[in-house]
Structure formats: C-alpha cells, structure tokens
Amino acid sequence: MASRSNLKVTFITIFFFFFLIFLQPLSLFANMGIENQDELLRSLGSSMVLPLFLQTPNSSHQLESSFHRQLKMLEHQHPNARMRLYDDLLANGYYTTRLWIGTPPQEFALIVDSGSTVTYVPCSTCEQCGKHQDPKFQPDLSSTYQPVKCSLDCNCNSENTQCIYERQYAEMSSSSGVLGEDIVSFGNGSALEPQRAVFGCENEETGDLYSQHADGIMGLGRGQLSILDQLVDKGVIGDSFSLCYGGMGVGGGAMVLGGITPPTGMVYSHSDPVRSPYYNIELKELHVAGKLLKLDPKIFDGKHGTVLDSGTTYAYLPEAAFLAFKDAIMKNLNHLKQIRGPDPNYNDICFSGAGSVVSELSKTFPAVDMVFDGGNKLSLAPENYLFRHSKVHGAYCLGIFQNGKDPTTLLGGIVVRNTLVTYDRENEKVGFFKTNCSVLWDKVQIVGPNSTEPSIMKNSSIGVSPTMAPTESPMTDKHPGKFKIGVITFDMLLGMKYSDLVPHMGELRDFIANELEVNTSQVHLNSTGTGNETVVSCSIYPKGSAYYFSNTTAKNIIDRFTEHRLTLPGTFGKYQLVEWKVEPPLKRSSWKVYMWAVLGGIAALCLCIASFGLWYLLRQKQQAMGALGTYKPVAVVVPEQELQEL
C-alpha cells in the first residue's frame, strides 16, 4: 500500500507541476503590468491596433510637431459641432459636409461656403431643381417643420404668407425659395446637440447649382440667416468656426462650428467685419522663392480687400499682382517645359516634367510666402497654388489667376489645402496653421459626450419626440453606436525638468491612478524632456484581463483629463493637456487563435502526462507480479523478524 500511495502522490505532483508551469503565462497575461502588455502588443503586430493618429512621436521634436498638429477642444462651457468634410476640391470644385434636417432626419450633402449666408436644400415642391445626390427635403414628412411666416423682417412670397430668400452668385447661378424652420442635426461626431434653425427650402435653381452633384449650400458667412450666426445668437457655440481642406488628390478634411484651442504656431491676420461683408485678411506682401514681389501693399486692399472664400476653388489676384507672381514663378522653372492647358477654352499656364509625387513638388516649384499685418507669414507649398493637368501625367498648372479688372484679391480653397483655418469672429482675426487635413477628422472624431450614441434633442420646445442624427462615426463596429475603447492615451506638459521628474515617476503614476479611480497597474507613463518642461505620455489600459473599457469608465477618464479635473501635487507644477487619443482593443480573432494554441498545448501536455502515468502504473504492476513468484507457502517456516524499537 505504501508504494501505491507514493505513486499517486508522485503522479499528482508531476501533473500539477507541469500544469502550473504551462498555465503561468496565462495568469501573467491576465494580470501582467503595463510594460509587459506593451511588449505583447508589439509582438502581436500593428494589425491588432487601429491608430487614430498619423504617427506616434518617438522624439521630442516629433512630439512637439505632433502637438502642433493636434486639434484640441476649447475649454469653454460651449460645445462645438465637429463635422467631416467630403469630396475633393479640384475633382468637384468644392467640399461638402453632411447635415440632417427634420424629424425623422433627412440627410443632405451641402457645399461648405464661407462666402454665403443662407443654408438651403431642394424642396419637394421645387419644379426647377436638378438631380442631386440625395432626395429633396419633404416638409410634410417632418413633424417638427414650421414655415417662417411673412413679417416686416423678411421678403415675402406673392401670397404674403411665407418669407422667401433669393441668392445670385458670381458664376451666374442662382437659388430662390421659401424659408422654413426645423431641427438641424450635425452628426454623431458633434458634441453639439441638434438645434432649431431657419433654412431655405429651394423652389428654383439655375446654372451650376442646377447641375452640381451636391444637394445645396451650407452658408457660413455673416448674416441673420447664417446657420453659424443663429447658433451663436442662441449661445450654444462660441463665435468661431474652423475649416481644414485635404491635400492635392486626397480630399477629405474636417470642420468645427464653435471654438477650438488654437495650436501653437498658428499665424494670424486681422479680419475687419466692417471692412467687408466677407471674411477678409490684411495681406501685405507676396514672396516667391524668398524674394519679395515689388508691389504696392495697397494692391491687396482694393474694393473688398483680400477675401477668403471656401466656396471658391482657385485664387484670383489683381492684374499687377498676378503678372508679377506669374513672372516670378516662371523664372524659377527654367528646366520645365511649358505646355497647353487641359481645356482649350482657357489659357492656363501649365508645365510638364515635374513628376507625380506631390510631396516632392517643392524640389521643382518654388515656395511662396504670404505676409500679413504685423509681419506674420504663411508659407504655401506648391499644392497651394497648383492643380494637376488632367491630360498630361506629371504636369501641373497655376491655380492662381487674374481677377479680371476687379481689384479684389480672392483666395479660394486651393490656397488653404492642408491648412487649418480658424475664423475667430469674436476676436476679429483669422488663423492659419499647416497640417495634414486629410487625417484631421480622426483627431477630432474621438469619443465625446454624444459620440457613442445618437445625438438627441433633449429639450424640445414644441413637445415632439427626440430627434436622432444618424451614426457617422467611422470607428463603429457591426453594432451601430458601440465603439469599444482598448487604450486611452493623454500627452500632457508638466512645468518640471525631466531630470527632476524621473525619480518621481512612480509617485506621479500613483497620483494619476488615484485621480482617475483606476488601479496603478492600469497606468503606464513615458516622458520626454524639453528644457524646463517635460512631456508625459500617459496610457490607461482596462482593468486586469478586461478586453475594453465600459463607456461610462472611458467617458469618466476622458472628462477628468479634458476638463482639467485632474489634481496633482504642487511639486509637479501645472499640467497642460496637449493631445489625447483612443485606440480600439485587440481583435478577438487573434485572441481566439492564441487561446486555441494554448488549449492545444494543454491537451498535448495532458496526453503526455497520462501516457507517462499509464506506463508507470503498468511497470509497477509488472514488478509486483514478478515478486509474487518468490513467495513461499504459508506453512513454510521463515526466519523470525526482529522487533524494531519504536
């Protein structure tokens, strides 16, 4: 019996020894520290993570550049409407955004136009409207629609029952219709709830408006009917908006209605609302290849001055300024061949032999600088004054033209491609900042108060059901409205030297964990020194072996950082949030592969252990059977054994 008992103990010990050794990686994986999780993420490959940013800075220089490119929310009581831009400037001649009107919401693609004041869409009653991207607006299908009744404050229709609008544009197109009021929604990327607003219900359109693919126009100019002015007058957003157009051949971008925190390095020019009904800037000089064009500075101040118009495709200069600019460009292109333009109806100035890589055009075409009041300078890349020749590969044409005999300087969308332009109406200035606008949407389309579920009109003055804006987030999974967050990362600037901070990184991690109400193991810190300040990257991971954060937990963490409710000891100095992002969790498919591999390994190990145990039992049995042959009969006398002392 003693040998069998020892055998059982030995077998159980061996089994649990191997079992615990093999399962140790699983327990470590479930409870490992953040450092090991980082190593695991790297080992699993980049396909496991969907990053929101173009790159993760790995040096102080790259980090500073990334901070400058990051669009940040304004720390005001006002939310803002973050909206995606679509289309391509040169392919379509405009950029559009999506707007939802009515209850239930009807979707429309509208041209973003800072030179217009009225927002309008084709009405179901329109008899002279072209075929556009979306169906016409049907007032009868919206339970919240109300016509704007005729009054002394508006022009009225022939029956004197409803207010009307009429607009004509420089390209000889026109739009007219009646005014209505309804709930307008800005999409799920917006922190701004749907609002009631007055808009145009179009009954007639001519010219390009009739033939264009877009449904209508979203007017961002100054005026009583401007949707921006309506939102500002209600006090729901700050008196500002920003546009960012994508680069040559890329398109896309972002728009924000309301205020933002301007990035460091933004270049400003004064914008006088009294000087012109349009958004103007004070352009003083033009430089080509570093050389000043010999022009009278007053040349850019004729008529309306220098006007920014997002609804215009190209740029137009007064005659003298255009001729000087054209000559300066051509003097720097001696090795390129001048060719005819793509359209024989226009005398475009085009050049071949420059190559097709946009990022390398600066090696061939000169840099252009615009100098504003106060000496502030905005540098233009070749994509800001060129457009691709549609018929000759590697050829480009000037996208800046002479403005006829009109002394106004008109800067269209081509000049501000890959440039964040902030129209700060409250402070009467316009800011410019070079960035990658095509990926800027990912930087502003991050989980906010309304981004995990449809936007809802909480307070309806007319007692209707809540209005929902369709989900617009590009990061939702198969279940609309559910975006799973696996990692939340914040970059903040501390007023403390890097050498002084390093010995206290553990304390800082403890304080952050305590403030965010998470475990210390969930917080991972990296730091980079920049003189008397230190940039700290703080990554927050889900608790234990959790796959992702709950919406409530994620929102709580993000709110504490972005609303500056994080309290740190005075020894660390004040902190400034400069960038934040979220990343999805690891894909489940890879987890399944890993778990199947683990289960397969366990099965193989168990099989080996069972085989070893079976072999051991058979061997012991054989030894026992062999020993039976040496036993003597019961009656045989055997030597008496000595009694052993206790």
pLDDT for 548-563, tens place per residue?
888 778 877 887 777 6
Residue (of 233, 249, 232, 250) closest to 241 by Cα position = 232
Q: Among residues 309, 424, 442, 491, which one is catalytic? A: 309
Co-location of 281 and 341 in the same domain: yes
Q: At 533, which CATH number? A: 3.30.70
What does the block give as tokens for 436? 């990658």
Classified as helix, coil or strand, 223 is coil
Average pLDDT in the 200-212 region?
94
Domain for residue 22, yes or no? no
User: Is the model's pLDDT at 53 over the cut of 80?
Assistant: no
Domain for residue 93, yes or no? yes
β-pair type (260-261, 163-168): unpaired
pTM of the model: 0.60
Co-location of 209 and 279 in the same domain: no
Which of 583, 607, 634 represents a domain boundary (last residue)? Answer: 583
Average pLDDT in the 365-394 region?
93
587 — pLDDT class (breaks 50, 70, 90): low
Residue (of 316, 354, 317) closest to 332 by Cα position = 354
Percent of the residues in the chain that have a pLDDT greater than 70, as a whole number:
74
- Distance CA(414)–CA(426), nearest Å, equals 26
Co-location of 262 and 370 in the same domain: yes
User: Is the model's pLDDT at 34 over the cut of 60?
Assistant: no
Between 115 and 201, the higher pLDDT residue: 201
User: Is the model's pLDDT at 103 over the cut of 90?
Assistant: yes
Q: At 153, which CATH number? A: 2.40.70.10
Co-location of 211 and 159 in the same domain: yes
- Distance CA(388)–CA(427), nearest Å, equals 37
User: Is the model's pLDDT at 276 over the cut of 60?
Assistant: yes
Domain for residue 395, yes or no? yes
Co-location of 108 and 139 in the same domain: yes
384-408 core/surface letters (b: 16 or more CB in 10 A; e: else): bbbbbbeebeebbbbbbbbbeeebb
Which of 390, 413, 432 represents a domain boundary (last residue)? Answer: 432
Co-location of 261 and 232 in the same domain: no
Co-location of 427 and 510 in the same domain: no
Domain for residue 206, yes or no? yes
Domain for residue 60, yes or no? no
Average pLDDT in the 87-92 region?
74
Co-location of 153 and 218 in the same domain: yes
4 — pLDDT class (breaks 50, 70, 90): very low
Domain for residue 38, yes or no? no
Which of 534, 565, 583 represents a domain boundary (last residue)? Answer: 583
Co-location of 216 and 333 in the same domain: no
Domain for residue 617, yes or no? no
Q: What is the pLDDT of residues 484-510, one digit of tens each?
A: 788 898 888 887 888 888 888 888 888
Q: What is the pLDDT of residue 22?
A: 43
β-pair type (96-101, 106-113): antiparallel
Q: Among residues 88, 113, 215, 229, which one is catalytic? A: 113
| Number of separate domains in the chain | 3
Burial class of residue 325, CB neighbours in 10 A (0-12, 13-18, 19+): buried
- Distance CA(113)–CA(111), nearest Å, equals 6
Co-location of 278 and 410 in the same domain: yes
Flag the least confident range among 258-267, 321-330, 416-425: 258-267
User: Is the model's pLDDT at 596 over the cut of 70?
Assistant: no
User: Is the model's pLDDT at 219 over the cut of 90?
Assistant: yes
Instruction: Determine whether 309 is an active site residue.
Output: yes
Co-location of 492 and 570 in the same domain: yes
Q: What is the pLDDT of residue 442?
A: 59
Flag the least confident range among 128-142, 574-588, 626-640: 626-640
Sign of the CA dihedral with 398 first, then 276, 419, and 89 last: negative
Domain that residue 389 falls in: 256-432
The one-letter amino acid code at 154 reads: C
Co-location of 409 and 530 in the same domain: no
User: Is the model's pLDDT at 642 over the cut of 50?
Assistant: no
- Distance CA(542)–CA(70), nearest Å, equals 25
Q: What is the pLDDT of residues 148-203, one digit of tens each?
A: 999 998 999 999 999 999 998 877 899 999 999 999 999 887 889 999 999 999 99
User: Is the model's pLDDT at 472 over the cut of 50?
Assistant: no
Instruction: Determine whether 233 is an active site residue.
Output: no
Domain for residue 619, yes or no? no
